[in-house]
């Protein structure tokens, strides 16, 4: 989220020594003060505080802003960052009362349900959000993660393929926009292996290795699949792959 911060331009007037009698309307105009910048709104303050990760202060600021679906959604996000999931859900739901087809709030409500372990509900919300915003790689990735957490691996893979098609960098960033993976190590291993396959298929060996390492760290040990997986054909010829296999003691 990018805070909208007014830009303050300080104009420094040039000083010249002129006779008093020479001061006329032109000099008065030159010495006139620039207009004051507009005051920052409560919502702007909340955005700035969110960017600074000062979530409690952001909540106070948003509470002072005019009530709208957008400010209620931002309130929910602030509570979400504080792991106050029940409060976050309330504000997401209030936002949806004002704007029922608000995809960002629907996605965020799905993330709150996911965090509470309500995977079936989160899947339904993510699917609805994706219908409203079909070009969102973030929502598609969140849907895939929810499927993996629910043990629906093929559906998870298909959702990840869609997310990757929309934006390959969705899995390559800092991960702050998408929900964290399943709590089960077995499900996380499957999830990360599938993401590794997607990167390998796209020719991104560095990220393929990164996610393959994650899968192995979470317990993936299917030696036959690693040896035969066509997506890793090029990766298996690299020294980095051989080193990873040696580190993990997989021959």
Q: What is the mean pLDDT of residues 109-125?
A: 95
Asked whether the predicted pLDDT for residue 18 surpasses 60, the reply is no
Q: What is the mean pLDDT of residues 68-84?
A: 95
134-176 confidence digits (pLDDT tens) = 999 999 999 999 999 998 999 999 999 999 999 988 887 655 5
Half-sphere CA count of 62, side-chain side, radius 13 A:
25
Asked whether the predicted pLDDT for residue 35 surpasses 80, the reply is no
Asked whether the predicted pLDDT for residue 72 surpasses 90, the reply is yes
**Mean per-residue pLDDT over the chain, rounded:** 82
Asked whether the predicted pLDDT for residue 102 surpasses 80, the reply is yes
For the chain, give the percent of residues with pLDDT over 90: 49
pLDDT number for residue 3? 37
User: What dihedral do alpha carbons 140, 144, 226, 173 form, nearest 10°?
Assistant: 50
- Pure H helices in the chain: 25-31, 42-51, 55-64, 69-81, 85-98, 103-115, 119-132, 137-149, 153-166, 185-201, 205-217, 223-228, 239-247
- 208/17 Cα distance (integer angstroms): 69
Asked whether the predicted pLDDT for residue 21 surpasses 50, the reply is no
pLDDT number for residue 8? 32
Asked whether the predicted pLDDT for residue 34 surpasses 90, the reply is no
Asked whether the predicted pLDDT for residue 120 surpasses 60, the reply is yes
Q: What angle do CA 127, 131, 133 make, to 5 degrees?
A: 110
Choose from 26-35, 175-184, 217-226 the range with maximum mean pLDDT.
Answer: 217-226
Give the least confident one: 18-27, 46-55, 171-180, 227-236. Answer: 18-27
Higher pLDDT, 36 or 79: 79
| pTM of the predicted model as reported, rounded to 2 decimal places | 0.75
pLDDT number for residue 105? 96
With the C-alpha atoms ordered 38, 43, 44, 49, is the resulting torsion angle positive or negative? positive
pLDDT number for residue 141? 93
- 87/125 Cα distance (integer angstroms): 18
For the chain, the distance separating the N- and C-terminal CA atoms, rounded to the nearest angstrom, is 45
Per-residue confidence band for 183, with pLDDT thresholds at 50, 70 and 90: low
For the chain, give the percent of residues with pLDDT over 70: 79
């Amino acid at each position: 989220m990018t805070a909208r911060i007014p830009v303050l331009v300080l104009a420094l007037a040039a000083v010249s020594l002129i006779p008093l009698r020479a001061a006329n309307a032109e000099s008065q105009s030159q010495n006139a003060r620039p207009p004051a910048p507009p005051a920052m709104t409560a919502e702007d303050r909340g955005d700035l505080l969110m960017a600074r990760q000062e979530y409690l202060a952001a909540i106070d600021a948003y509470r002072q802003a005019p009530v709208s679906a957008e400010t209620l959604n931002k309130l929910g996000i602030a509570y979400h960052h504080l792991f106050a999931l029940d409060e976050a859900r309330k504000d997401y739901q209030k936002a949806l009362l004002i704007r029922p087809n608000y995809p960002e709030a629907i996605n965020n409500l799905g993330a709150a349900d996911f965090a509470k372990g309500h995977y079936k509900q989160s899947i339904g919300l993510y699917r609805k959000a994706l219908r409203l915003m079909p070009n969102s790689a973030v929502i598609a990735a969140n849907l895939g993660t929810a499927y993996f957490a629910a043990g629906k691996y093929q559906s998870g893979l298909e959702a990840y393929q869609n997310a990757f098609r929309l934006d390959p960098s969705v899995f390559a960033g800092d991960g702050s926009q998408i929900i964290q993976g399943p709590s089960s190590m077995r499900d996380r291993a499957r999830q990360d292996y599938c993401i590794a396959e997607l990167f390998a298929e796209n020719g991104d060996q560095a990220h393929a290795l990164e996610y393959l390492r994650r899968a192995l760290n979470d317990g993936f040990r299917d030696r036959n699949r690693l040896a035969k997986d066509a997506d890793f054909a090029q990766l298996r010829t690299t020294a980095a792959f051989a080193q990873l296999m040696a580190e993990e003691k997989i021959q």
